[in-house]
Structure 1
């Protein structure tokens, strides 16, 4: 099964959720692990509700990330993670830093701040993988603060236009076994995917395309054309993220049975 673990629904570039699913069909992607654009840019709670509605309409196609831009909502943010997990059935958390502009690494907000730690800790408690649009250093800081958290480093280290950033991302991830690297639009450099596997192992690389912001055929072809074994590609294209989602689902099942 092929799972795209970095997808945006909610109307980016005029693409409806149904448009995104049709695009996934064209590529050959079976499931998408998605965030809602409204949650990222306007109102997290409302955007998460919209994603939950999409998940209900397409239960076999969409896995949901609860989205929270930063931790400054306080206790309500932690409660939102819990609600998204228990009520909506979301199995991951998306967090994102804010920069001064496209291609800029001048941060206006960072995900590595004390206000964010309770949110990350709640996700870790629920075994929700955390897709962090953040620099390698921010991801390392989150792991230091919440060692049990599983961090998927979006774009392999930050903004997709940060050319060469994957060198630093791989080096940081080598020192943190709970950091995974995602392939979403990170680079088009020759050999970078092979370098990721050489650095942290295929079991810690996650396939993502960032569609519809980025052409998913580009992201899919990077993996299919890489000089990796079929077994390594299978892990990257779905095996790894399904393993992580399975851990979160197991927690939900135990809670439902009153065992957790």
Structure 2
């Protein structure tokens, strides 16, 4: 198996307390079975393109695992085309651009200049398309060239646009890094073909295993998996490899297999309902089949409709749907904007054996975790003696959880998503409040987050959550696998902690 990661970096980051060396990059990618890393220098991205590009070429000369990627900043105006020609002649594999962080737009003549220069020098171009409209703008700005462009960061919000654009433009390739929805890989293969998908992970900042897991677990041909994981990008950068006098060599996959986590698993964060994104899971039948493939024995779900729309209708639909499936349990969703009805919903459903917890989503209700409206419902939740799953995302949110956890210490509170970017703040919340638990589902998980949490607070209050129904759980399994869990840690986090917390027999 040959795995090539097309989206990695090394270097100093002004907003981060750790410097990522080339050695660190190689160690982290190698641990996930990645043989080669297309890498750019952070210096080229943030300070001076030529100096940073020279730095990455020097690193590639010392480390054969690194394949150099250059960056350019079009704000320099007169140095743009010359730098692209220079790095192409030196054997760089691609040009990577960063319009958002540098303050320019792909829907501009600057991007057209870059694309034209890349085409004339026969060097691929890489750019992130994480926001709506970017893929379409890129297609419009490159109508007159067939330059190979790799679209990075295609999350589920923009995946439909990205695949539609790539269908119309055969020179576009798509990285699968943020293909998290069930069936996303399969849908992409069906629409644009496996030949135009590549692996990029954002290493070493982000964990590589989730993206690799999604390809490995996809229901596609083995030959198609090989293309996506390394074959396609190897072909795209063939000219660079010749100039660098490099021959790609496959490596053993033992380390990847050694880390794999499989069932039995209890998933404490799932959904049942319709999402407006490309995916192949729509019904309870679909969900249970996916659970069986991923080794998940039980899943605790909230209704998608209850979260984003009508919580009364959603709870009722969930209650009907899960009755036929012993694998499925439910959260009753509450909305602090409707306190009296929320209490009625808890009274109605928490009497039923299939409902084992309460869920709220501040992002959709518009009510802060510790708002007066939310606090009116907390005494009722405490009386019910069930876990309370709260969507907890971003800086300041774990601190809000801490305030209500200290005031209502009888409520077991689960920080859904574990704060995401505020995961260090979430650790401090767990240190201060023994009734707070966490799980880590997210499409962009900073490497080392799970292990750091275990080392700080132990494994007894860490749960497995995957956003099942929105995410394929094999994606988030990769987040936990990256932590190199011991056998006792694995048993506790994947199963025993949830069984004890929710009273699952």
Alignment of 1:49-88 (within 5 A): 49-58=316-325, 60-68=326-334, 70-87=335-352
**Separation of aligned partners in 1, 2:461 and 2:367:** 27
Instruction: Give the drift of 1:186.
Output: 6.6
Using the TM superposition, name which of 147-156 and 185-194 deviates more.
185-194
Moved over 3 A (4+): none
CA RMSD after TM alignment: 2.0
1:217 to 474, 477, 485: 474
Larger radius of gyration: 2
Match for residue 116 of structure 1? 374
Contact 2:337 2:367 in 1 (8 A): no
Does 2:409 correspond to 1:151? Answer: no
Match for residue 91 of structure 1? 356
Q: How many residues align?
A: 234
Match for residue 287 of structure 2? 20
Instruction: Give the drift of 1:241.
Output: 1.2
Residue 329 of structure 2 aligns to a residue whose secondary structure is strand
Assess, with a 3 A threshold, how the Cα gap between structure 1 residues 120 and 238 changes in structure 2: closer, same or farther: farther
Map Cα deviations across residues 17-71 of structure 1 (whole Å, 9 max, x no partner): 221211111111111110110111111111111111122111x101100011x32
Does 2:267 correspond to 1:4? Answer: yes
Contact 1:92 1:128 in 2 (8 A): yes
**Separation of aligned partners in 1, 2:494 and 2:444:** 17
1:141 to 403, 409, 412: 403
**Separation of aligned partners in 2, 1:37 and 1:122:** 23
TM-score computed with the length of structure 1 as normaliser? 0.83
Contact 1:121 1:149 in 2 (8 A): no
Comparing both chains, which one has the higher relative contact order based on Cα–Cα distances under 8 Å and sequence gaps of 6 or more? 1
Does 2:438 correspond to 1:173? Answer: no
Residue 466 of structure 2 aligns to a residue whose secondary structure is coil
Contact 1:11 1:17 in 2 (8 A): no
TM-score computed with the length of structure 2 as normaliser? 0.44
Match for residue 230 of structure 1? 487
Ranges in structure 2 where 5+ consecutive residues have no aligned partner? 1-263
Instruction: Give the drift of 1:176.
Output: 0.6
Match for residue 312 of structure 2? 45
Contact 1:117 1:146 in 2 (8 A): no
**Separation of aligned partners in 1, 2:464 and 2:443:** 11
**Separation of aligned partners in 1, 2:295 and 2:353:** 26
Residue 322 of structure 2 aligns to a residue whose secondary structure is helix
Ranges in structure 1 where 5+ consecutive residues have no aligned partner? 100-106, 250-260
Residue 156 of structure 1 aligns to a residue whose secondary structure is strand
Map Cα deviations across residues 122-153 of structure 1 (whole Å, 9 max, x no partner): 22222211110032022112213322111000
**Separation of aligned partners in 2, 1:42 and 1:111:** 19
